[in-house]
Amino acid sequence: MADVFRWGIIGPGRIAAKFAEGLQAVEGAALYAVASRTPGRGEEFIRTWGGEKVYSSYEALLDDSRVDGVYISTPHVFHRENALLALKAGKPVLCEKPMTVCEAHTRELVETARREKVYLMEAMWSRFFPLMERIRQLIAAGEIGEVRMAEADFGYRRELDPQSRQHNLDLGGGALLDVGIYPISFFHMLLGVPSEVLGSACIGKTGVDEQSGYLFKYPKGELALGSSAVRTDTPCEARIIGTEGRIDLPRNWWRPGEITLWKGEEARRIVEPFEGNGYNFEAQAVMEDVRAGRKENLIMPLDDSLDIARTMDRLKKQWGLAYPGEPR
């Protein structure tokens, strides 16, 4: 592989722009090609973020031998078909979260990647921040004792637009898939797979969950409490509570630059500034894995993606929520 890792992007939208911005902070990374089925969008993206090639079909980008890895950032409901194309073309894939809209489709991607021996990772960027690694180290070192509870929320207010990605069921809209995956992935990172899942949601006029809350219980009695919303602005904070202390993550906890470690009444603020916009860390992780010949990532392994998808399916079943093309 060349010294420069050449990225191809499928679906050059708002999130892809953040990823392209993040690539600028990654040594040895370059945006090389963009594929869009919307006339003019790829050209506009390249003018803004750089790159060499614009393709009007995803297949054409995947046929380009110079593409070293593919970032997929199309709407949720298209992740499955787009990722399958890339995997079958032998291209390493970083697929935006959620990997798909359900566990069955995620399993299909995971099994395909493992069968074809091609790299695949769900783009849960928050796990790769330096301060998230510090949190994992603090917990492993017993700084807050045994983790007993976790809390996290992610909600914002977006005016109702039935055609928007956030509110359109056909595009995988709703709070759970858009932002609920953040606290759910956070809980899985901390506590593993819940033994009990209880949730409630407000299903709006367009058939998506506009706001939702969930309580998870784990085999040793640990609890996790989360919420998400696309019609309600929430505090967007998180806490990890142990037998000997706790860790507080302030607003926008999923891209942490500081945390507070509490032991009794004693508080220690821990600050870790970072370069880039945060998307650079997941890109760097993929590049390191691919260059080392690894087929999945240790921080965001494929089994975690399967477990998270299964947990979200359990919630959706309670709410009577299903997406087009999802097995019934």
What pLDDT is recorded for position 1? 55
Residue 233, pLDDT above cutoff 80 = yes
Residue 250, pLDDT above cutoff 60 = yes
Average confidence (pLDDT) over 155-176:
90
What pLDDT is recorded for position 158? 86
Query: If you search the block for the tokens 């510090």, which residue do you land on?
Result: 134
Report the alpha-carbon distance of residue 323 to residue 152 in Å, rounded.
25
Asked if residues 53 and 67 have their Cβ atoms less than 8 Å apart, the reply is: no
152 and 59 belong to one structural domain: no
What pLDDT is recorded for position 327? 85
- Which residues are paired to 271 by β-bridges? 258
Q: Residue-wise over 127-155: b if at least 16 C-beta within 10 A, else e?
A: bbbebbebbeebbeeebbeebbbbbbbbb
pLDDT digits (tens, 9 = 90+) for 254-295: 999 999 999 999 999 999 999 999 999 999 999 999 999 999
238 and 138 belong to one structural domain: yes
Tell me what the pLDDT averaged over the chain comes to. 96
* Structure tokens that stand for 218 in this block: 């784990």
189 and 212 belong to one structural domain: yes
Query: If you search the block for the tokens 């199309």, which residue do you land on?
Result: 74
Instruction: Give me the catalytic one of 97, 263, 316, 317.
Output: 97
Q: Which residue has the higher pLDDT, 250 or 161?
A: 250
Report the predicted TM-score, pTM, of the whole model to 2 decimal places: 0.96
Measured between alpha carbons, how far is residue 111 from residues 107, 219, 304 in Å? Answer: 6, 28, 14
**AA letter at 114:** R
Is the CA virtual torsion 215, 218, 221, 222 positive or negative?
Answer: negative
What pLDDT is recorded for position 328? 76
**How many structural domains comprise the chain?**
2
Residue 81, H or E segment: helix 79-88
Instruction: Determine the structural domain holding residue 111 and report its residue range.
Output: 5-125
Report the alpha-carbon distance of residue 49 to residue 22 in Å, rounded.
10
State the pLDDT confidence band at 160, using cuts at 50, 70 and 90. confident
Average confidence (pLDDT) over 114-141:
98
191 and 142 belong to one structural domain: yes
- Cα angle for residues 220, 252, 235 (degrees, 5° grid): 80
* Domain boundary, last residue among 70, 97, 125: 125
112 and 164 belong to one structural domain: no
- Which residues are paired to 199 by β-bridges? 214
Q: Give the least confident one: 16-30, 127-141, 150-164, 171-185.
A: 150-164
Residue 247, pLDDT above cutoff 60 = yes
86 and 214 belong to one structural domain: no
Identify whether 205 is a catalytic site residue.
no
Q: What are phi and psi of 82, to 5 degrees?
A: -70, -45
Residue 296 forms part of a structural domain = no
